[in-house]
């Protein structure tokens, strides 16, 4: 239905495909920022969790990769993982399901806008939101709780946030295809992420979780995003901090999510 659209052929004269994507992302971001529920769950909740975990446990140490690090340095990347997942997966599943069920997606589909612009615009919004929340957490974590990340590993941190956000958008679009009503989206998405947060070492460090649950967690992307975000925080690391294996597994989940979404995605309301 979409047809192939090359750069410069969509939107207003002279408007490139990239500009159209930016146009869509701008209004998706505006909608996101105006939505109180989205603001609370995506922006406020991770900050609150970081403050609680760091205040309660920050000064004890924990062994990661053979070295002792402060718990606040452990929890910062863990909560950045949670924030990234909130900004992409949680927020996207709820908003896209709501838009589909209320007919907004169907309406947008009647306009001559390529499907990938609508999907990509929402993804760009999620990546930007994840970037903002990660930066916010980083500033609070380093200023307030002495968690440190070296400038050398910052690129790896940024790559992990972006890869994570894109992956969880793709997985989110896949999950949306299994939800039939807007009311079901919020509880369902929490049922998916909360157990994964626990077994993936987001709330409780992985060395206290046990090998069986950790082995299960390793199948899913939450664990690998947390790993990819933790690596840049490891002190004395001589490398640039890229967790190549974890990033590869995230990419595989992104491909799987995208494949399911492409096969199953519907623009029209599915419930009732």
Q: Which residues of the shown chain bind other proteins in the complex (CB under 8 A)? A: 1-3, 5, 10-13, 15, 20, 23-24, 27, 30-32, 34-35, 102-104, 106-114, 268-269
The nearest distance, CB 173 to other proteins, in angstroms, is 19
Nearer to other proteins, 15 or 180 (CB): 15
Q: What is the C-alpha separation between 20 and 10, in angstroms, rounded? A: 7
Nearer to other proteins, 104 or 132 (CB): 104
Nearer to other proteins, 106 or 218 (CB): 106
The nearest distance, CB 45 to other proteins, in angstroms, is 19
The nearest distance, CB 3 to other proteins, in angstroms, is 4
Assess contact for 24 and 118: CB atoms under 8 A. Answer: yes
Nearer to other proteins, 117 or 189 (CB): 117
The nearest distance, CB 129 to other proteins, in angstroms, is 15
Query: 3-class SS at 259?
Result: helix
Q: What is the C-alpha separation between 66 and 243, in angstroms, rounded? A: 16
Q: What is the C-alpha separation between 135 and 46, in angstroms, rounded? A: 12
Nearer to other proteins, 27 or 178 (CB): 27
Assess contact for 65 and 158: CB atoms under 8 A. Answer: no
Assess contact for 182 and 37: CB atoms under 8 A. Answer: no
Q: What is the C-alpha separation between 269 and 272, in angstroms, rounded? A: 8
Nearer to other proteins, 10 or 229 (CB): 10
The nearest distance, CB 248 to other proteins, in angstroms, is 36
- Candidates 266, 87, 265, 230; CA nearest to 169 is 87
The nearest distance, CB 167 to other proteins, in angstroms, is 26
**Residue 9: DSSP 8-state:** S
Q: Give how far the C-alpha of residue 243 lies from the chain's centroid of Cα atoms, to the nearest Å.
A: 17
């Amino acid at each position: 239905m979409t047809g192939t659209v090359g750069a410069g052929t969509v939107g207003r004269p002279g408007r490139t495909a990239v500009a159209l994507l930016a146009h869509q992302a701008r209004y998706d971001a505006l909608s996101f920022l105006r939505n109180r529920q989205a603001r609370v769950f995506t922006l406020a909740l991770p900050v609150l969790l970081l403050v609680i975990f760091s205040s309660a446990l920050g000064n004890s140490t924990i062994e990661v990769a053979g070295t002792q690090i402060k718990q606040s340095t452990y929890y910062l990347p863990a909560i950045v993982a949670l924030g990234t997942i909130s900004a992409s997966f949680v927020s996207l599943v709820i908003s896209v399901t709501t838009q589909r069920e209320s007919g907004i997606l169907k309406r947008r589909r009647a306009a001559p806008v390529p499907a990938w612009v609508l999907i990509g615009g929402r993804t760009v919004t999620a990546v930007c939101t994840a970037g903002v929340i990660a930066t916010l957490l980083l500033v609070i974590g380093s200023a307030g709780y002495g968690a440190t990340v070296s400038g050398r590993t910052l690129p790896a941190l940024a790559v992990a946030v972006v890869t994570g956000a894109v992956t969880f958008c793709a997985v989110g679009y896949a999950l949306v295809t299994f939800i039939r009503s807007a009311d079901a989206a919020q509880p369902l998405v929490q049922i998916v992420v909360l157990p994964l947060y626990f077994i993936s070492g987001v709330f409780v460090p992985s060395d206290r979780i046990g090998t069986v649950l950790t082995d299960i967690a390793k199948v899913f992307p939450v664990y690998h995003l947390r790993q990819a975000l933790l690596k840049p925080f490891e002190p004395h690391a001589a490398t640039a901090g890229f967790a190549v294996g974890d990033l590869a597994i995230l990419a595989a989940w992104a491909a799987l999510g995208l494949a399911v979404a492409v096969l199953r995605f519907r623009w029209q309301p599915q419930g009732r």
